[in-house]
Structure 1
Amino acid sequence: MFIKLLLQVVYITVPILIYYALIRNNASLKRYHSILLGIICGISILLCMSFPISFETGYIMDLRTVPWMISFLYGNISTGIILTIIMLGYRIFLGGIGMFVVFIAYSITLLMILFYFKKYSQFSFQHKMKSVLTLTFINSLLIVSSIHFIFGFSESHYLLFYTVFTFMQLLLTWLTVYMIETFRENDRLQLEMQNSEKLYIVGQMAASVAHEIRNPMTVVSGFMQLLYQSDEIPLKHKEHVKIMTVELERAQAIINDYLTLAKPQADKMEKIDVKEQTSLISQTLSSYALMNGVDLHYHIKSDENFYTFGNPEKMQQVLVNMIKNAIEATLNKKAVTISLSKDNEYIYIDITDQGVGLSEDEIKKIGTPFYSTKEKGTGLGLSVSFSIIRAMNGQIMTTSDMGKGTTFTIKLPQY
């Protein structure tokens, strides 16, 4: 029994290690990560079911629940559904009345995953662990209870089987999720280091040239205003002067973005009412949305207070940048939705547009300096926003459906 138990652990952990080895060493495979994870989890499920653990009492068990849940939580719904069908089909092929146990337990667990774990990727590490272990415990309880109801066995056998089975499911679930989250965190940190190096280079360049550029621009801007106010300049030329002034202001805004990249953290740090800030910016940009033929919707999912810690002006800058981008990305006569929610640790600001969406490659590049999906964009606006939120110990996450739209989620620690 002990050897078969170790084999069950091997069937689950080794494929996961192979999966991460493959996608780390071959960047082109990352775009197919859901398919690859589905194959890996499918192999684990079939191996666990083919070589189960036998008890001296005659009962058998396997740990297929772990890779099955992983396919939903770290792959996607489609991957999980396909593996569910394969698992049920293989169980019917193996035969026996035990397939009713599988159908009952996994149907209820599947419903819980579909309704409760929609935003699993946005959970904190602790929240993920608690949620997954709770789900595993409920699944184990459903399986053992169904077996007891269908087959029936003595109280002592029931307690032994339930204790061993539940403990092994919980232990292996914890190990697998911890391993996956560790790999993902390492990848995230590596990506952040690469982005930090780029930001550092841009920052150094900004610090060295921005002030030198600002001085002559200020002089030129002053003379432009004098020319515009002069009665000796024809009206036609005044329009040209006005256009030049607008372009100078745009250049000044770009320089300010460079300076923000050079020094994203401001000295003024205080308690921020996120609900008040979000509502204010939404109202401010409502006219801009109307000009672009876009409806702007604002929803708060709780009547509680939403406080974080940072610089209010920088927070406003982030909201303006991201909501304005969402409005510009949204197709005509459609909507941008801003929603505010929180859990025990974090505040979440979801900004959802109804544009063309982003590919996985585009999502990975979002927030890097000079990358923009807009024709006239510099890519600095989102870079500055990402930098400000990182300075507030927060995170910006992106999810997108091609042809349907994109959601940017600003995750901030509660104060």
Structure 2
Amino acid sequence: MKYRLWLCFFFTIAIAFAMSIPVNLNGLVYDFRSIPLIVGSLYGGIYVSMFLYAAIIVVRYLLGNPNNLIYCVSFLPTIIFIILLLKRYRQMRLAHKMISAVIVCVAVKIVSFLIYLTSIGKMELFTANLISSSQTYILQSVVIAVYIYLIEFQQKYIHMQEDTVHGEKMRIVSEMAASVAHEIRNPLTAVRGFIQLMGVPHLAPSKLQFYQQISLEELERAQVIISDYLAIAKPEPEKDELILMKDEVQYVSQVLVTIANYNDVKIEVTLQDEQMFIQGDRNKLRQSLINIGKNAIEAMSKSGGVLVIGLKEQTDRIMITIRDNGIGMTKEQISRLGTPYFSTKEKGTGLGTMVSFSLIRAMKGKIHITSEVGKGTEFEISFPAVPRGL
């Protein structure tokens, strides 16, 4: 409705402007009123067309032109041309639209002139100015054809933009879906491994309780991951807590043990005795480190290997190192690591690494990667240290 109102307003102004600067050719008055009339009618519909027809009659009356009743009788029947064209106009190709608009514009002009001049008995004005009249019709035809072309071009451009935005939204949705599935697979794989371990005969009650605890914590982590992705649309304040890094590294190594066993990989953990704290989100830290560790294990899955996880304090930062002796990466691969849909794995999406890097950086962490093809990769992740006793 607003669109049609704007068309009525805009083209009424255009009609009034065109009628206020006519050209007089030996008693016959020409102007370009038919151009905004036809264009507005074709893109606004029958109701806009009726409004513009009425606007022309009102403006003509206000300008003090004679024989207004006769003009109405000669002019109003030409709306039939517009009604006939409107039925097929939207389905036409651009060239057909331009030609049809030119034909209707000229037809409206000629028919209204012929009826009007015949009614007032001055048909000689039309026949005496055929060459001049033809020139105005040609100029009018060129103007309306260019007008239609520009409108169609703009509409096509707008539609392309809308399609691009829609396609981008769908791409983001698909990326998010793939990323969620990737992130949830990690805790579910760990739970599966511990459930299988709980089926071992004559398992000690302490180990059974430990496996149950880890499984429940991993399921809780899966729930937190889902909540994090759901919160992207409606962000909530980040959880900020004091994290004892020694406990977290031990937890991550225990989770990765089950994945390592499947891939014939050994895990070595080196820790300093000092208590080291950082400030951040415990669950996001675990999610990030487990994902990086899992990728490192999978890089060694063909021939086995050793995953080394280290923790130390250096000046005012806490350093976590995750080193493998897997396939390694080139400098180009390192530079692209953490971008969507780049992965060194055959079926990887790269989204898990992207999310992990984002979560680490959100906690003011830094990531440094060194790698050599055929020898392995080392991730060095550092966080600002929180002074002891705070």
TM-score range (shorter-chain normalised) is 0.3 to 0.5
Bigger Rg, structure 1 or 2: 2
